[in-house]
Copies of this chain bind each other. A is one copy, B any other.
Amino acid sequence: MNLSIAYLGPQGTYSEFAASTYARWLQQHHQTDTARQAYPSIAQVLRAVAQAEVDICVVPVENSIGGGVTTTLDMLWELDMLQIQRALTLPIEHAFLSQADRLQVVSTVYSHPQALTQCQKWLETHLPEVTLIATNSTTEALQHLDADPTVGAISSAWAAQIYGLPVLAHPINDHSDNCTRFWVLSRESSQSGDYTSLAFSLPTNDAGALLKPLQHLALAKINMSRIESRPTKRSLGDYLFFIDIEAGLDSPHTRAALDAMGGCTETLKLFGSYTLLPMEEVLAQTSTPKYL
């Protein structure tokens, strides 16, 4: 039986590369066959898992330059039933795709807003006069390239290969250490791993209200590797806090710290424990690392 994997499409996005990398790892280590299914937004990807249209999904969580992917965090809190099974971190190398014979001909550049931001200095240096147009994914605009040589797009060299499009420059990201962390999510409970992700709201907004739950982690010597605030959408100044800790839910020590946290939060949601996919090893086994 095939395991179905939802991702943010269309074909050729970094999300699809992450999903296909995970699929290959599943095949190699668990002899599991998979089938990928593209959705037009991250919200629809996550709803597809929640509504059991697919088995699992691979979604971006944070980028080292752009920061947290807020839709993923907001939907995870709202759906309240998805659990993280794995995390994987992918190096991001943007490429400039166009049918133009040289950069100077290009007058319009399409890409996802995050990719445009991550190549801002390159664009200012090489294409200072172009019009930038935001798309829903890095590959959505590629269909326009065939018809018009004055149009360019920022995507991956992998997408260029899939769509048979010329790469005029690569890599073009301003920061070489650009990577995105993805989560593999499903409806199955996930209790063991090196990392646990959770989120909570606070009962009050007093001095030190956020400090109280965090102190229980520090007292238990549990490292918090990330904290991100998001609005509760109730009123301005009222927040949810998304936290990653370096500890697994199967440890009584972690459970005790989280129980104590529960006593000083309003709502505390656990999104599961998980390990990181060893990406260097996985990518070394593939034949296409250069297309990242």
Contact = CB atoms under 8 A, between A and B. Distances in A.
A229 B231 contact: no
B225 A205 contact: yes
A197 to B, nearest CB: 14
Given A113-B113, A205-B225, A64 B235 contact: yes
Interface size class of A (residues with CB under 8 A): 35 or more
Given A62-B236, A211-B215, A235-B177, A226 B229 contact: yes
A269 interface: no
A181 B236 contact: yes
Contact of A234 (B63, B67, B177): B177
A226 B239 contact: yes
A236 B206 contact: no
Contacts of A70: 66-67
Nearest to A68: B229
10 contacts: A43-B120, A62-B236, A65-B231, A67-B229, A67-B230, A177-B234, A179-B236, A181-B236, A210-B224, A227-B229
Interface of A: 43, 62-68, 70-71, 89, 113, 117, 120, 132, 134-136, 175, 177, 179, 181, 205-208, 210-211, 214-215, 217-218, 221-231, 233-237, 239
The 8 closest A-B pairs by CB, nearest first: A208-B218, A64-B236, A207-B223, A134-B134, A211-B218, A207-B221, A67-B231, A179-B236
